[in-house]
Chains A and B, each alone.
Chain A
Amino acid sequence: MSKRLGKGGLLINRNKPIKFEFNGRKFSGFEGDTLASALLSNNQVLVGRSFKYHRPRGIVSSGSEEPNALVNLGENDKFEPNQRATTTELFDGLKASSQNHWPSLNFDIGVINNYLARFLPAGFYYKMFIHPRPFWKYIYEPFIRHSAGLGRAPSQKDNSKYEHFYAFYDVVIIGGGISGLNAAVTAAESGLKILIMEQTSTWGGRSIVDFPNIYDETSLEYVSRLLSELKKFENVTIRSRMMGAGVYDHGYLLGYERLNDHLNTDDGPRHRLWRIRAKQIITATGAIERPLSFPGNDIPGIMLASAVRDYAVNFGVSSGDKIAIYTNNDDAYRTAITLSGFGIEVPVIIDARVSGGGELAESARALGIRVENGKAISKVFGKKRVEAINICDHKNSTKDREKIKCDSIAMSGGWSPVVHLYSHCGGKLKWDEKLALFRPDGYAKPTSFDGQPFVTAVGSANGLLLMHDVIQDAWEGCLKVIQAARGKVKKKSPKETLHERANAPEAIWIAPQDADIKKRSKIWLDFQNDVKVNDIELAAREGFESVEHAKRYTTLGMATDQGKLSNINGLAILSSSLGKEIPKVGTTTFRPPYTPISLASIGGSARDDLFQPIRKTPMHYWHEKNGAYMEPVGQWRRPFCYPKEGETHAKAVEREINQTRSSLGLLDASTLGKLLVTGPDAGKFLDMLYTNLMSTLKIGKCRYGLMCSENGFLIDDGVVARIDEQTWLCHTTTGGAENIHGHMEEWLQTEWWDWKVYVSNVTEQYAQVGVVGPNARNLLEKIGGLNVSKDELDFMEWKDGKLGKYDARVFRISFSGELSFEVAVPASQGMAFWNDLVEAGEEFGVMPYGTEALHVMRAEKGFIMIGDETDGTVIPQDLNLNWAISKKKDDFLGKRAQERSFMVNPNRWKLVGLETLDGSVLPDGAYAIADGFNSNAQKLTQGRVTSSYFSPTLKRGIAMGLVINGPSREGEIIEFSKIDGTIIPAKITNPVFYDPNGEKQNV
Chain B
Amino acid sequence: MLILKCPYCGIEADETELSPGGEAHLKRYGPGSSDEELEGYLFSRENPKGVHFERWRHVYGCGKWFHAARCTATLEVFGTYSAQTFEPPKEIIKIIKVKRPGWKWRDLS
Contact = CB atoms under 8 A, between A and B. Distances in A.
Contacts of B2: 249-250, 449
A895 B30 contact: yes
Contacts of B99: 451
Contacts of A901: 35
Given A742-B59, A750-B83, A277 B74 contact: no
Contacts of A448: 76
Contacts of A449: 2-4, 75-77
Given A447-B76, A449-B75, A749-B65, A891 B31 contact: yes
Nearest to B82: A753
Contacts of B57: 742, 745-746
- Give the bracket for the number of chain A residues in contact with chain B: 20 to 34
A917 to B, nearest CB: 44
Contacts of A250: 1-3, 75
A396 to B, nearest CB: 52
Interface in A636-658: none
Contact of B75 (A249, A750, A891, A899): A249
B3 A891 contact: no
B70 to A, nearest CB: 9
Contacts of A450: 76-77
B38 A897 contact: yes
B1 A249 contact: yes
B35 A753 contact: no
Interface string A744-784: 01100111010000000000000000000000000000000
A891 B29 CA distance: 11
Interface in B36-82: 38, 42, 55, 57, 59, 63-65, 74-77
A750 B14 contact: no
Contacts of B74: 426, 447, 451
Contact of A890 (B3, B4, B31): B31
A896 B38 contact: yes
B28 interface: yes
Contact of A746 (B1, B31, B42, B65): B65
B35 A451 contact: no
Interface in A891-913: 891, 895-897, 899-901
A69 B2 CA distance: 38
B12 to A, nearest CB: 9
A277 B28 CA distance: 38
A710 to B, nearest CB: 7
B21 interface: yes
A844 interface: no
Contacts of B109: none
Interface string B1-14: 11110000000001
A453 to B, nearest CB: 12
A828 interface: no
Contacts of A890: 31
Contacts of B14: 277
Contacts of A746: 21, 57, 65
A900 B42 contact: no
A635 interface: no
A900 B33 CA distance: 11
B42 A711 contact: yes
A899 B59 CA distance: 33
Given A249-B75, A447-B76, A900 B83 contact: no
A95 B42 CA distance: 61
Given A753-B83, A896-B29, A896-B31, A745 B3 contact: no
Nearest to B35: A900
A252 interface: yes
B43 to A, nearest CB: 9
A875 to B, nearest CB: 15
B38 A749 contact: no
A431 interface: no
A760 B106 CA distance: 37
B77 to A, nearest CB: 5
A871 to B, nearest CB: 19
Contact of B76 (A451, A711, A751): A451
A750 B4 CA distance: 18
Given A249-B75, A449-B77, A451-B74, A751 B3 contact: no
B76 to A, nearest CB: 4
Contact of B65 (A252, A277, A745): A745
A248 interface: yes
Contacts of A451: 74, 76, 99
Given A742-B59, A746-B21, A749-B64, A891 B1 contact: no
B83 A248 contact: no
Interface centre among A249, A449, A895 (most CB of B within 10 A): A449
Nearest to A901: B35
A896 B31 CA distance: 5
Contacts of B4: 449
Interface centre among B29, B31, B57, B63 (most CB of A within 10 A): B31
Contacts of B59: 742
B14 to A, nearest CB: 7
A248 B38 contact: no
Contacts of A251: 3
B55 A891 contact: no
A896 to B, nearest CB: 5
Interface string A429-452: 000000000000000000111110
A753 B84 contact: yes
Contacts of B35: 900-901
Nearest to B65: A749
Contacts of A742: 57, 59
Nearest to A748: B65
Nearest to B37: A896
A248 B76 contact: no
B66 to A, nearest CB: 9
Interface string A728-753: 00000000000000100110011101
Given A250-B75, A447-B74, A750 B31 contact: no
A711 B4 CA distance: 29
Interface string A384-428: 000000000000000000000000000000000000000000100
Contacts of A750: 21, 55, 65, 83-84
Contacts of A249: 1-2, 75
A166 B76 CA distance: 23
A448 B2 CA distance: 9
Interface string B74-107: 1111000001100000000000000100000000
Given A449-B76, A896-B38, A897-B38, A749 B30 contact: no
B42 A749 contact: no
Given A426-B74, A895-B31, A899-B31, 19 more contacts: A248-B1, A249-B2, A250-B2, A250-B3, A251-B3, A277-B3, A449-B3, A451-B99, A746-B21, A746-B65, A749-B84, A751-B28, A753-B84, A891-B30, A896-B29, A896-B30, A896-B32, A896-B38, A900-B38
20 contacts: A249-B1, A249-B2, A250-B2, A447-B74, A447-B76, A448-B76, A449-B2, A710-B42, A711-B42, A746-B57, A749-B65, A749-B83, A750-B84, A891-B30, A896-B29, A896-B30, A896-B31, A896-B32, A896-B33, A900-B38
